[in-house]
Structure 1
Amino acid sequence: MADISPNLLADLPKVAEEQVAPGELDARLKGAREPFVIRGLAADWPLVRAGLENSAAARDYLVAHGRDRQFPVNIGQPGGGDRLFYDHAMKINFRMATGPLDAILDGIGANEDKPDAPVIYLSSIDMGDYFDGLREANNLPLGDRKPIESIWIGTRTRIAAHNDVPDNVAVCAVGRRRFTLFPPEQMANLYPGPLESTPAGRPVSMVDLRDPDFEAYPRARAALAAAQIAELEPGDAVFVPSLWWHHVEGLSPFNILVNYWWRDVPGFLGKPEDALFHAILAIRDLPEADKAQWEAIFDHYVFHNSPEVMSHLPAGARGILAPLTSETAGQIRAKLLRGLSR
């Protein structure tokens, strides 16, 4: 494979752009499995217009809608760079604090022009819980979906490549954002870090995309060969499908992102990541011969799940082998709770 150029991100192919009016977004997202960019989707948002005036106007707009409560914030070290990650001892390289929104935003404003400014980052703040009227004034028409609506506010930041289980529409509201996206099958080539100690709740790639160490992570070349990039201006949006890995950079001195997470599955279904943790607990360290048997069992009941799994049983006797309902999902949860509490 040819060497990646020093300016590797600029050389990556661009995520496809589509012309989608806000009223057409719901239909376009149904069954979508590939990322795409929509220019100007949120250009009419008051938050976007405030940010185009200047960053201070955007901060004033947020404060006007912020509730009188403590906001969680991540704070890096002065001169520590913009990457929220691990230190050399594999400890998280930032601290978490809380404070009133106006004080946090004043701190961002005071550090906006300093080259050694610490990262100050409000991450995944629930817009309904922490703001009054913000999500109503700045929203996307997503049909009957009930998404998690989050806002991300901060200085220049780099968030290591990671994936999320829900589908995601991310809107660059203020500043500029760069998304570098990788298909799910590139997971091993991105060298995921620990499952249970992460900078943001999901395993992250150990590869620094700004300066990749191909000696330590040689398969990262293959991941980059499959990557796509999306450069977003205020009002632009990108669709990130479920389980696509994405490295996210806030490129301006002050940046705001609004994102919408949802799953197009019944709400009673469990979380796949919970099943992964349970499988590690119950199966991963078994003898190889036993694991092979359990792999066949999982293929039979879960991954292949052909009609032959239950067709020989009377319709009223299929239990949880039949398509799940809220009732049978509850039965599974109760059984798991009993087993895990022993």
Structure 2
Amino acid sequence: MEYGQPKLLRGVCKEWPVVQAAQSGAQNVAAYLQRFDSGAQAQAFIGAPDIQGRYHYGDNAEGFNFRRETLSLPDALATILRLAQAPGEGTAYLGSIPTRDYLPGFEQENSLPFLSANVEPRVWVGNASTASCHYDTFDNVACVAAGKRRFTLYPPEAIADLYIGPIDHTMAGQPISMAMGSTIGDPRYPRFEAIRDEAIIVELEPGDALYLPKLWWHQVEATEPFNLLVNYWWDGFPQGPDTPFTAMMLAMTVLAERPAAERQAWRAFFDHYVFRPNGHPLSHMPDERHGILGPLGNGNRKRIRAMVMQWLRGS
């Protein structure tokens, strides 16, 4: 796979037992999952009929258009199965359920050999629904086990044209696009109209998977009355306890409201030292003179972090 670009993996998990179970219907999938039930309760999203499975904000972005309910796995599956047989009565889904905690043993029977054994799967099961356009800070392989999925993708650089909602008021941790799902020509989102038709749309059948790089925007539609997705998140390039998102948030507190000319100047410094479009900032000097700009793995990560922590403490 080319890192940084989405990739359809057709049929990569078609031999999984859970995919085979799905060929006999939703009841059989539910029975298969309950073999591994740990007894832990999970939070389900319950949507009224009028939202038509599109889980989103409420009116004026206040609150949300669904309710949360804590259920056991058997109760959640029973609700999902009932609603699958009752079109028009609403929808439900369980999202991001770690198999280690809720379905121990599932991952041994349904695995992807090209991923590290340390990458743990999560399960998403529910009715026909739409997960609003968002990004993840991890690389992702999403495997369709039952039903069908449609992914609508935009690259990270589309962020300004997607009209992203609040960072600190989210449905499940990540901010979402307010423009995705709007009617054509909506005057609130003029920049989105320029990219609306540039989306990459990927249709997945049972047994198919999609590799989705971190920070790619994606809307996910489960299009059948009963759907099951298994996904794997991991960071392909972990570098210590701090995250790029943390660095961005801290940068906002010190840069976002400075004068435009100063922000532009700092952008040049960030490009030079962090994003490095012209290569290493000290490439004109011998390696032994690079100091803390030398390889992070040579102890420089700890040195830089110690300096930053000392500055943050004001000492």
Distance 1:149-1:296 versus aligned 2 partners, 3 A rule:
same
Paired with 1:341 and 1:44, the residues of 2 have a C-alpha distance of 54
Is 1:33 paired with 2:4? yes
Paired with 2:306 and 2:162, the residues of 1 have a C-alpha distance of 36
Paired with 1:195 and 1:60, the residues of 2 have a C-alpha distance of 38
1:192-234 CA-partner distances (Å, limit 9, x unpaired): 1112212221121112437445322222233223212111111
For the 8 Å contact 2:132–2:219, the answer to whether it is kept is yes
What runs of 5+ residues in structure 1 fail to find an aligned partner?
Answer: 1-28
Aligned length: 312
2:59 to 68, 74, 88: 88
The offset of 1:145, in angstroms, is 7.0
1:123-147 CA-partner distances (Å, limit 9, x unpaired): 1111222211101111111244743
Which deviates the most, 263-272 or 106-115?
263-272
Distance 1:150-1:212 versus aligned 2 partners, 3 A rule:
farther
The offset of 1:100, in angstroms, is 1.1
Counterpart position of 2:205: 233
Which deviates the most, 43-52 or 193-202?
193-202
Counterpart position of 2:149: 177
The offset of 1:242, in angstroms, is 2.5
Is 1:273 paired with 2:245? yes
Counterpart position of 1:57: 28
RMSD: 2.4
Paired with 2:208 and 2:215, the residues of 1 have a C-alpha distance of 21
Local SS of the residue matching 1:214: coil
Counterpart position of 1:134: 106
**Alignment of structure 1 residues 198-217 onto 2, 5 Å:** 198-209=170-181, 211-217=183-189
Paired with 2:299 and 2:44, the residues of 1 have a C-alpha distance of 39
The offset of 1:176, in angstroms, is 0.8
Paired with 2:5 and 2:79, the residues of 1 have a C-alpha distance of 38
Counterpart position of 1:13: none
1:7-54 CA-partner distances (Å, limit 9, x unpaired): xxxxxxxxxxxxxxxxxxxxxx3x433222222211111111111111
Taking structure 2 as the reference length, the TM-score comes to 0.89
1:235-281 CA-partner distances (Å, limit 9, x unpaired): 11112222221110011111111111222213426321111111111
Paired with 1:136 and 1:250, the residues of 2 have a C-alpha distance of 25
Distance 1:57-1:333 versus aligned 2 partners, 3 A rule:
farther
Local SS of the residue matching 1:53: coil
**Alignment of structure 1 residues 216-295 onto 2, 5 Å:** 216-268=188-240, 270-295=242-267
Counterpart position of 1:17: none
Counterpart position of 1:22: none
Counterpart position of 2:76: 104
1:105-140 CA-partner distances (Å, limit 9, x unpaired): 111122212233333121111122221110111111
Paired with 1:97 and 1:47, the residues of 2 have a C-alpha distance of 26
Which deviates the most, 254-263 or 299-308?
299-308
Letter in 2 for 1:50: A
Letter in 2 for 1:228: I
The offset of 1:332, in angstroms, is 4.1
For the 8 Å contact 2:49–2:90, the answer to whether it is kept is yes
For the 8 Å contact 1:214–1:220, the answer to whether it is kept is no
For the 8 Å contact 2:131–2:219, the answer to whether it is kept is yes
Counterpart position of 1:329: 301
For the 8 Å contact 2:282–2:290, the answer to whether it is kept is no
Distance 1:155-1:334 versus aligned 2 partners, 3 A rule:
farther
Distance 1:291-1:147 versus aligned 2 partners, 3 A rule:
same
Taking structure 1 as the reference length, the TM-score comes to 0.83
Letter in 1 for 2:227: N
Q: Percent identity?
A: 36
The offset of 1:82, in angstroms, is 0.6
